[in-house]
Structure 1
């Protein structure tokens, strides 16, 4: 600690308080985030404090702003009670959101369980509950276009056989997933770090939004989008 104080004072003399930068974890408790802010903001009056939340929370927020104009979630946890389809993208809910997973398990063990599609390169415990599990090759999660007319033209070449060549996912599974996504009157989509912590994180997050928008599965019971992000206290960062 003496060394940290010594070096900090040296930087302050040469570069002002703003010569010190803080890069913080999302894994701290709320109280630890508070103490860190007291040291950096109240103590040093430092402009340069950033957190790992930029890798995930910011991508989720940016996709929501781009698609809907604000970064609030487009859905409620109560929608789990009513949805016909759970669409889970690179999100091992059984490990990262255990209470949310309990709600989903209640539905899956109930009298009218929803279909479950899981996209994840890893065969997680969440993926083991999937009706259809899709494991794409890394880096094949998105073929980008801008505008719905360009999408209509582009998608004509993306038949299941071609997509299997690109992603490594069997064409039969792609067809099953497409049928499940294309038919239900409600669908609840959610994503986590497998989407956000990549170099194009905001774009694939927007594509998840687009799937719900193209089908009109938004703003009704059982429909919505959870752009989940980081550990629960990370927002305090």
Structure 2
């Protein structure tokens, strides 16, 4: 079965091509490129990616305007039907603003843009996104964000921790995120939001391949390839 993926582009996205290249390199099939103003997604999708960037220039709140783009209604419907959805960096912000994930992404502690490779710990390797990793595996993935400080109230944090929905955790302080959370899953496990950029670590020429297992695991889980 062919792997059918789509990458959404918003005004201000700047990692959509990186994401598309990563998906094609791992799956062997170029993803559909979908503009934010479209009302419908291609049929039969297995995987949808919301890429990094600065949608709408990060006006209002990061991701807030993109979350109300016409295509996001279709993305929400697809997620509710079980389609896998990955939001990276700005995509993570969009997922929280769209209500697909709890919490919010605030300005980094120290009000500084953070752009470097950071060590992560794989907290949950039982999801379709993380099955390619070992539990508690340490990996290195780049970050590049100004508003990556994950926040949720204590009850929400306790709930997502207790339900095993923390996918990745920073192995060292990066941006002030509550409990060093770097990536979380929805209740069904088919939506993942994360601030680090796995698409920037899929081949040795990029300095490492620690992000590749995320895409490989997703392809295997979704189409058995």
TM-score for both structures, normalised by structure 1: 0.35
Larger Rg computed on CA atoms: 1
TM-score for both structures, normalised by structure 2: 0.37
Structure with the largest fraction of helix: 1
Structure with the largest fraction of strand: 2
